[in-house]
Amino acid sequence: MSDALSLHVHEVSVGYGRREVVRGLSLAPLRGGCVTALVGPNAAGKSTLLRTIAGLLPMRGRVSLGAVDLAGLSRAERAARIGFMPQSLPGGVALTVMETVMGALRAGGDAAPISGSEMQTRAALALDDLGIGALALETLDKLSGGQRQLASLAQALVRRPDVLLLDEPTSALDLRHQVVVMSILRRLAGEGRLVVAVLHDLALAARWADHVVVLSEGRCAAEGAPSQTISSAVLASVYGVEGRVETCSRGMLQIMVDGPLPPSAQKTGET
Amino acid sequence: MTTASPPLTASAAAAVAGYRRLLRRRLLLLALLVAAAIGAFLLDLASGASGLSLREAVMTLVAPDAASRTSLVIIRDIRLPQAVMAVMVGMALALAGAEMQTVLNNPLASPLTLGTSSAAVFGAALAIVLGVGVPFIPLSWIISANAFVFAFGSMLLIQALSRARGAGSETVVLFGIALFFSFNALVGLLQYVASEQALQQLVFWTLGSLGRASWDKAVLLALVLAFTIPFSLAAAWRLTALRLGAERAESFGVNVARVRLWSLVRVSVLTGAAVSFVGIIGFIGLVAPHMARLLVGEDHRLFLPASALTGALVLSLAATASKLIVPGAVLPVGIVTALVGVPVFMLLMFGRRT
């Protein structure tokens, strides 16, 4: 993993049928070693963009990792470089946590096949790394919400990808587990990975991300450091709410939402 | 990043050791299933109208020279092909059901509930009643070929629907039920115009019976199983990953569309072969995978073999029961599997809820 790791999104359009969700989107390069938060109101195209980068949706435009066009990678190569964590794992699955992580490692095929015992070792280490080694033999269905997210994260990490994409990793979690997951993401970025997470909670994005991309109706409304992107103007124009963004005594951004803007004010806010 | 694994931490070592214990326990369960299936097979062999005991049945097989001519005929030409057929049909239907449940992500999927069996029967009925069949196929195989073609066609329809935008697994099941009723109605129509002889044959197909088992059918079904099982097992990890959702599996590098398509081909071959030889035997494909799941979980390296073995076990027991319920008569085994299968399935479903 090099310091030069960067992800480029250039003129990307994605749609479902005729409805375009992401429209000709270009972003400043996303950097390795940083946590990037993708934020925006519902239906802004956050998850769609993330899944497109993961190679799960057909698109127009170009997504590249350094100089490598992701469209040119085979499935196995892509899976080796990019880990994707969906919003939630399905219920009613009679698999142990260990088995799901081994499946993540084995299912896509490998350039170099690994032995059964190495597979078990790597799966166990991936769990241990997230502090859930003790849950290895629990069935997925018996886990709490926070444990499930960590198990899901272990599946995304076991191939040791450079890039980690997470779709709302904290949405179903209580306060403590939100912070646990976000601090793990910070640590993973600190190890040099490129981490991109869709977040619903602006406060989490302000507190934990290095870089924020604000999406609105499939376009980029703002991008940059949290202090540059999360502002009362963005709250008004993108979210349609009246709010204040202030810096607390510890130098952290604090977001206070006072109420919805009337529809007429929203229009003017957009210009 | 290096490719070599860092040294094991204590907690990771404990996880690996624990997993290996679990794997050993499940392999032992698999071995017990083999033993139980063999036991049920022998029980099936020893039961029947003629009252030959288990010992006599086994002795006839082991030392055919010493056996009487009648028992030789009863065992070798009647009971043995039927018992072998029960084992293989059970395996085929259970394997088909297990793969369908995974690929369509639907615990209620099975050859019966998604209309695949009915489609196969309709294909067979077309051949029997109207003599319509796949061209260039020898007459003796035309019924089986038709059954496969219609089973595969119905699977393609189901697959197309499940890939269509917005069709959830419930929609797919509803569509399967619609197929089930449509093909049953079409078979009913054919029954209406059928000759008396063809009608008899159709009734046999719709009830499901091992009564027409023969060695050449058994050999063909064995070939079908020998051809499909290795491919099923080779896809085991990909199918396991599919249990975590199509997108998730895709992000692991799995070509989900291809896995689904080949799995449905296997399902159609297995269902078409089973149905064309013994007719509709319901609930094996539904119940056996659920029982296997309770025993060994859903790591498909274990789950698929366990499903097949459970299917063999259950159908052998059902075949035995079909000879014992009404003394002196053999019920169509499809009736028995339905009578036993439905309550077992209900129990399983309620058991999972709580």
Of A103, A104, A160, the CB nearest to B1: A160
Task: Give the per-residue pLDDT at A269.
Answer: 44
Q: pLDDT class for B349, splitting at 50, 70, 90?
A: low
The one-character DSSP state at A69 is E
**How large is the average pLDDT for residues B317-325?**
90
Task: Give the per-residue pLDDT at A174.
Answer: 85
CA distances from B224 to B16, B91, B116, B124, B217 (A): 37, 11, 17, 18, 11
Task: Give the chain A residue whose CA is nearest to the CA of B248.
Answer: A86
**How large is the average pLDDT for residues B130-137?**
72
Task: Give the chain A residue whose CA is nearest to the CA of B5.
Answer: A122
Which of A9-13, A75-79, A255-259, B298-302 reaches the highest mean pLDDT?
A: B298-302
Q: Do B240 and A1 touch (CB under 8 A)?
A: no
Of A80, A83, A93, the CB nearest to B298: A93
The residue with greater pLDDT, B335 or B3, is: B335
The residue with greater pLDDT, B238 or B130, is: B238
Task: Give the per-residue pLDDT at A64.
Answer: 93
Task: Give the chain B residue whose CA is nearest to the CA of A160.
Answer: B1
CA A169/CA A185 separation, integer angstroms: 10
pLDDT at B345 over 90: no
**How large is the average pLDDT for residues A248-270?**
76
Number of H helices, E strands in chain B: 15, 0
Task: Give the residue carrying structure tokens 């166990």.
Answer: A124
Task: Give the per-residue pLDDT at A248.
Answer: 87
Of B12, B13, B249, the CB nearest to A107: B249
Whole-prediction pTM: 0.89
Q: Do A104 and B18 touch (CB under 8 A)?
A: no
The residue with greater pLDDT, B249 or A263, is: B249
**How large is the average pLDDT for residues A20-48?**
91
CA B10/CA B16 separation, integer angstroms: 10
**How large is the average pLDDT for residues B106-130?**
86
Task: Give the per-residue pLDDT at B140.
Answer: 67
Task: Give the chain B residue whose CA is nearest to the CA of A112.
Answer: B3
pLDDT at B58 over 90: no
Mean pLDDT of chain A: 88
Q: Of A20-24, A85-89, B200-204, B236-240, which gets the smallest average pLDDT?
A: B200-204
Task: Give the per-residue pLDDT at B339.
Answer: 84
pLDDT at B199 over 90: no
Q: Do A79 and B253 touch (CB under 8 A)?
A: yes
pLDDT digits (tens, 9 = 90+) for B148-191: 889 889 988 887 887 776 666 667 778 888 999 999 899 889 88
Which of B248, B293, B294 is most worth mutating to test chain A (most A CB atoms within 10 A of its CB)?
Answer: B248
Task: Give the per-residue pLDDT at A271.
Answer: 40
Which of B24, B169, B251, B294 is most worth mutating to test chain A (most A CB atoms within 10 A of its CB)?
Answer: B251
Task: Give the per-residue pLDDT at B309.
Answer: 97
Determine phi and psi for B99, rounding to 5 degrees: -65, -40
pLDDT digits (tens, 9 = 90+) for B264-291: 889 989 998 898 888 889 889 988 999 9
Q: Tell me whether residue B35 is exposed, middle or buried, using C-beta atoms within 10 angstroms of its C-beta: 0 to 12, 13 to 18, 19 or more.
A: exposed
- Listing DSSP states for B85-117 in one string gives HHHHHHHHHHHHHHHHHHHTT-TT--TTTTTHH
Q: Do A137 and B252 touch (CB under 8 A)?
A: no
CA B64/CA B53 separation, integer angstroms: 15
Of A92, A108, A139, the CB nearest to B254: A108
Mean pLDDT of chain B: 86
Task: Give the per-residue pLDDT at B217.
Answer: 87
pLDDT at B354 over 50: no
CB neighbour burial string for A41-68, b if at least 16 within 10 angstroms, e if fewer: beebbbbbbbbbbbbbbebebebbbeee
Task: Give the chain B residue whose CA is nearest to the CA of A153.
Answer: B248
Helix (H) or strand (E) run with residue A162 in it: none
Of A79, A109, A133, the CB nearest to B11: A133
pLDDT > 90 fraction of chain B, expressed in percent and rounded: 39
Task: Give the per-residue pLDDT at B64.
Answer: 80
The residue with greater pLDDT, A2 or B106, is: B106
Measured in whole angstroms, the distance separating CA B310 from the mean position of its chain's CA atoms is 10
Task: Give the chain A residue whose CA is nearest to the CA of B243.
Answer: A93
Task: Give the per-residue pLDDT at B210.
Answer: 87
Q: Do B240 and A94 touch (CB under 8 A)?
A: no
CA B314/CA B319 separation, integer angstroms: 9
Q: pLDDT class for B206, splitting at 50, 70, 90?
A: confident
Q: Do B251 and A156 touch (CB under 8 A)?
A: yes
Contacts of B297 in chain A (CB under 8 A): 94-96, 99, 139
Q: Do B243 and A128 touch (CB under 8 A)?
A: no
How many angstroms separate the CA of residue B244 from the nearest CA in chain A?
6
**How large is the average pLDDT for residues B68-85?**
86
Of B5, B294, B299, the CB nearest to A95: B299
How many angstroms separate the CA of residue A174 from the nearest CA in chain B?
23
Task: Give the per-residue pLDDT at B169.
Answer: 63
**How large is the average pLDDT for residues A23-43?**
92
Task: Give the per-residue pLDDT at A253.
Answer: 87
Which of A51, A95, A165 is most worth mutating to test chain B (most B CB atoms within 10 A of its CB)?
Answer: A95
Q: Do A109 and B253 touch (CB under 8 A)?
A: yes
Task: Give the per-residue pLDDT at B2.
Answer: 43
- Listing DSSP states for B14-71 in one string gives HHHHHHHHHHHHHHHHHHHHHHHHHHHHHHHHH-STT---HHHHHHHHH-TTTS-HHH
Q: Do A121 and B16 touch (CB under 8 A)?
A: yes
How many angstroms separate the CA of residue A64 from the nearest CA in chain B?
17
Q: Of A189-198, A243-252, B47-56, which gets the smallest average pLDDT?
A: B47-56
Contacts of B19 in chain A (CB under 8 A): 96, 98, 120, 124, 136-137
How many angstroms separate the CA of residue A198 from the nearest CA in chain B?
16
Give CA angle at B13 (B11, B19), nearest 5°.
105
Q: Do B12 and A155 touch (CB under 8 A)?
A: no
Task: Give the per-residue pLDDT at B4.
Answer: 53
Of B165, B247, B252, the CB nearest to A17: B165
Q: Do B15 and A98 touch (CB under 8 A)?
A: yes
Of A78, A106, A137, the CB nearest to B22: A137
Task: Give the chain B residue whose CA is nearest to the CA of A148.
Answer: B244
**B70, B82 contact by CB (below 8 A):** no
Q: Which residues of B touch A (CB under 8 A)?
A: 1, 3, 5-6, 8-9, 11-16, 18-20, 22, 105, 107, 165, 237-238, 240-241, 243-245, 247-255, 293-294, 297-299, 352
pLDDT digits (tens, 9 = 90+) for B9-46: 888 899 999 999 999 999 999 999 999 999 999 999 88
Of A51, A89, A133, the CB nearest to B244: A89
**How large is the average pLDDT for residues A149-167?**
92
CA A86/CA A152 separation, integer angstroms: 8
**How large is the average pLDDT for residues A137-161?**
91
Task: Give the chain B residue whose CA is nearest to the CA of A109.
Answer: B253
Of A75, A92, A139, the CB nearest to B253: A75
pLDDT > 70 fraction of chain B, expressed in percent and rounded: 92
The residue with greater pLDDT, B304 or A257, is: B304
pLDDT at B3 over 70: no
